[in-house]
Structure 1
Amino acid sequence: MVHLRTAVWGPAEFVGLPPRWLVGEGLLVGALGAVAIVGTTLFGAWTGSPSLAAGEAGLVCAAALALHLVVMGAGRALVGIAAVLGVCLALQAPQAAAGVVLAKRGRVQTAVVTSVEDGRAADGEHRRYLCTVADTHGVPFKVRVWPGCGQTTRPGDTLSVVYDPKGRVPPRAVPAAGGMPDPLRDLAPWGAALVAVSLLAVVRSYRLSSPADGIPRPSQTGQRSDVQE
């Protein structure tokens, strides 16, 4: 049972509270992982790199974080949870990165709605309304826009659309309430959860002895713990 617990949740061979340096290392590992996942996607959206902007590099960073935790000897359950959170963060990052680009250098333009698609779900509920729009000269946008496109929107209506003058991210309709929502707000819970799980995984990976030879090492808290051979 002890071996099973160690393999699943990590050895956590320290006395009392974990040492401060270990907590700092866990926070650093989690923070670097979250920043790498979001940062590579944001860099790709800003520079127009499709592979980075699509979140593929973020998935690689999530895999690298999980591999690092495995090498440290973290529990398999915590490694798995961290990997799932990293993948979820990487999948959410492209939309947020596009929002950051539009918030920083986007320009607002009036567009005319040419058609509306309600995106009806299988159960009959509306998931999202998508509007096909054209500029005031009649030139259609290459992608459909949302939010700001709702149930009451009809062809011929006008919408305020924010677009990237460099064309590196797709345009979006400005919400009727005005102003663009914080693009990184939806990523905060995923990032915080990833940092917390990474911290727990690193802290519980600590061993007083090498698993290969069973030689004890001094505790970082200034105390010693008996290691049974």
Structure 2
Amino acid sequence: MAVSEPHLVAHLHSTVWGPAEFVGLPPRRLTARAVLAGGAAVYAVIGCAVAGSWYGVSWFADGEAGLLYVALLILHLCVRRAGRALVGVAALLGMCLVFQAPQAAVSLVLAERGRVETLVVTSVEGGPGAVSGHGRYLCSVADGDGVPLNVRIWRGCGQATRPGDAIAVVYDVKGRVPPRGVEAGSSLLDPLRELGGWAAAFAVVSVVAVVRSHRLSVPASGPKLGSGS
């Protein structure tokens, strides 16, 4: 017995991209369910990161809760036997969204309740040849009374920065997120705009995966068999 070639191709296509067993546009209820699933996952990932940064809940702020929601969506897609390629892309985009969300959440908190203070640079380290710091220049800073900040600043710290220079730092008045340097010509909301692209891509792929997983009947265990020559 050999596998019939047309059935094999159809089986592989269904396995990789999903069966999508409907004619024309997908049913409205299916589309609504898909949008709900994808939108809920995006909302959960970003919402957890923002809530964690706002209220100081590290498990949410670090992206661990968001990672759990992405895993639940991927599990949902696997249970529905969605196309493996779409499940893989959704998982990759979901991970990227989880990794980007914490920084964007910090930016949102600082934009809402941050205060800018001018501090004095006490030392400069790093640069392109440094082993750590990803090639960035890192500035240690202190306030007017000489009290050092407990983190080093890289935004606004550059090759021309020298000890004794003034650098602007924005900090959370409630101390729940780390302070951040202020760069000229940049906005605290820039990471949120970048996050929007990841969120949209993740949502779209998730919706397509759910829609294409639609079957009119119970999926068979394998391709149909035909007589071989």
TM-score by length of 1: 0.86
| 1:146 alignment partner, SS class | coil
Match of 2:115 in 1: 107
Alignment equivalent of 2:176, drawn from 168, 183, 189:
168
* Partner Cα separation in structure 2 for residue 67 and residue 178 of structure 1: 39
The residue correspondences of 1:110-149 to structure 2 (distance < 5 A) are 110-120=118-128, 127-149=135-157
Question: Is 1:207 paired with 2:215?
Answer: yes
Deviation at 1:37, TM superposition (A): 0.9
* Partner Cα separation in structure 2 for residue 106 and residue 63 of structure 1: 33
Deviation at 1:130, TM superposition (A): 1.8
Match of 1:155 in 2: 163
Instruction: Please tell me whether the aligned partners of residues 118 and 151 of structure 1 are also in contact (alpha carbons under 8 angstroms).
Output: no
* Partner Cα separation in structure 1 for residue 100 and residue 137 of structure 2: 20
| 1:166 alignment partner, SS class | coil
Question: Is 1:27 paired with 2:39?
Answer: no
TM-score by length of 2: 0.86
Alignment equivalent of 1:15, drawn from 23, 26, 33:
23
* Partner Cα separation in structure 1 for residue 219 and residue 186 of structure 2: 59
Larger mean CA deviation between 151-160 and 113-122 belongs to: 113-122
Instruction: Please tell me whether the aligned partners of residues 41 and 70 of structure 2 are also in contact (alpha carbons under 8 angstroms).
Output: yes
* Partner Cα separation in structure 2 for residue 191 and residue 57 of structure 1: 16
Deviation at 1:102, TM superposition (A): 0.6
Match of 2:77 in 1: 69
**Structure showing greater relative contact order (alpha-carbon pairs closer than 8 Å, 6 or more residues apart):** 2
Match of 1:38 in 2: 46
* Partner Cα separation in structure 2 for residue 12 and residue 177 of structure 1: 47
| C-alpha RMSD of the superposition | 2.0
* Partner Cα separation in structure 1 for residue 209 and residue 43 of structure 2: 18
Question: In structure 1, what residue type is equivalent to 2:122?
Answer: T
Instruction: Please tell me whether the aligned partners of residues 133 and 144 of structure 1 are also in contact (alpha carbons under 8 angstroms).
Output: yes
Match of 1:222 in 2: none
Question: In structure 2, what residue type is equivalent to 1:11?
Answer: P
- State the number of aligned residues: 211
Q: Identify unmatched segments of 5+ residues in structure 2.
A: 1-8, 222-229
* Partner Cα separation in structure 1 for residue 44 and residue 159 of structure 2: 38
| 1:31 alignment partner, SS class | helix
Match of 2:60 in 1: 52
* Partner Cα separation in structure 2 for residue 34 and residue 121 of structure 1: 38
Question: In structure 1, what residue type is equivalent to 2:135?
Answer: R
Deviation at 1:141, TM superposition (A): 0.6
Question: Is 1:191 paired with 2:202?
Answer: no
